[in-house]
Amino acid sequence: METENKAQTEEEVEMPNRDLSEQIKEATKDSHVRAENTGLMLSYQKGQVTLAQYKLLLCSLHHIYVALEEELDKNSSHPGVAPIYFPTELARRELIEEDLEHFYGQDWREKMVVPKAAERYAHRLRQIGEENPEFLIAHAYTRYLGDLSGGQVLGRITQKSLGLKNGDGVAFFTFPGVSSPNRFKQLYRSRMNSVELTEEQRKGVLEEAVQAFELNIQVFDALQDLVSSMQREADRQTQTSQAEQLNGTQ
């Protein structure tokens, strides 16, 4: 009897709040800090995002949201997805496509550059859409609540650092169907909490949320590496043409 009481107490200590929204926030706290400390997010926090970074971010996010939103649509009546299915308020795909067209022109599809890490992220989304649709909660939470939180600040920084006017190129950050992001987040959390999950499924969702952050971090790191190698190539070309000009004048 004593052991049973002790076990209960330990569980209460480990999981003081049984709401999924609280547990997921707690489980991903360290991952959030790590995501904030990626090169890309640090550039953002310094208010220094470049066009090259932002264009690659849009290409990656397009790849990710197409997969996420197709899997949510396919599973919209699944009991683990239905309560958190808000395509009118949250869908990002078309907004990202507007931005891609703004920066790359009408043939943006041919010009997009997608890091392998974004392909791996999309692959994971398609896999869980097939095998464990309730894990989509973890991915929808990570992306959409992030976009409705820190994402709002990132939108303003993008606009300012790239000198964009009239909302051109930053449709991705806007939520025309959401009048108050904070109130919407509350509604979303209460819907997450209403999803019925077995203990095993709940554990799986929490692990998947950590994985979702990890996949985002890998995309940001890959994107930053791509930007650096593009910059090195541009510098090399400038040096070559300067050397050629010098040689020509001698």
Instruction: Check residue 45 for interaction with ligand HEM (CB under 6 A).
Output: yes
SS3 49: coil
Instruction: Check residue 35 for interaction with ligand HEM (CB under 6 A).
Output: yes
- Nearest residue to 89 (alpha-carbon basis) of 14, 178, 215: 178
Query: Which of the residues 64 through 93 are near ligand HEM (CB under 6 A)?
Result: none
Compute the distance between CA of residue 180 and CA of residue 193 in angstroms, rounded to an integer: 20
Q: What is the DSSP letter of 173?
A: G
User: What's the min distance (Å) between Cβ of 155 and ligand HEM?
Assistant: 12
> How many Cβ atoms from other residues are within 10 Å of residue 11's Cβ?
11
Compute the distance between CA of residue 245 and CA of residue 149 in angstroms, rounded to an integer: 50
Mask for 138-157, x = binds ligand HEM (CB under 6 A): ---xx--xx--xx-------
Instruction: Check residue 25 for interaction with ligand HEM (CB under 6 A).
Output: yes
Compute the distance between CA of residue 243 and CA of residue 40 in angstroms, rounded to an integer: 33
- Nearest residue to 15 (alpha-carbon basis) of 7, 4, 23, 24: 23
Query: Which of the residues 188 through 227 are near ligand HEM (CB under 6 A)?
Result: 213, 216
Instruction: Check residue 181 for interaction with ligand HEM (CB under 6 A).
Output: no
Instruction: Check residue 102 for interaction with ligand HEM (CB under 6 A).
Output: no
SS3 175: coil
User: What's the min distance (Å) between Cβ of 234 and ligand HEM?
Assistant: 26
Instruction: Check residue 54 for interaction with ligand HEM (CB under 6 A).
Output: no
- Residues near ligand HEM (CB under 6 A) are 25, 32, 35-36, 41, 44-45, 141-142, 145-146, 149-150, 213, 216
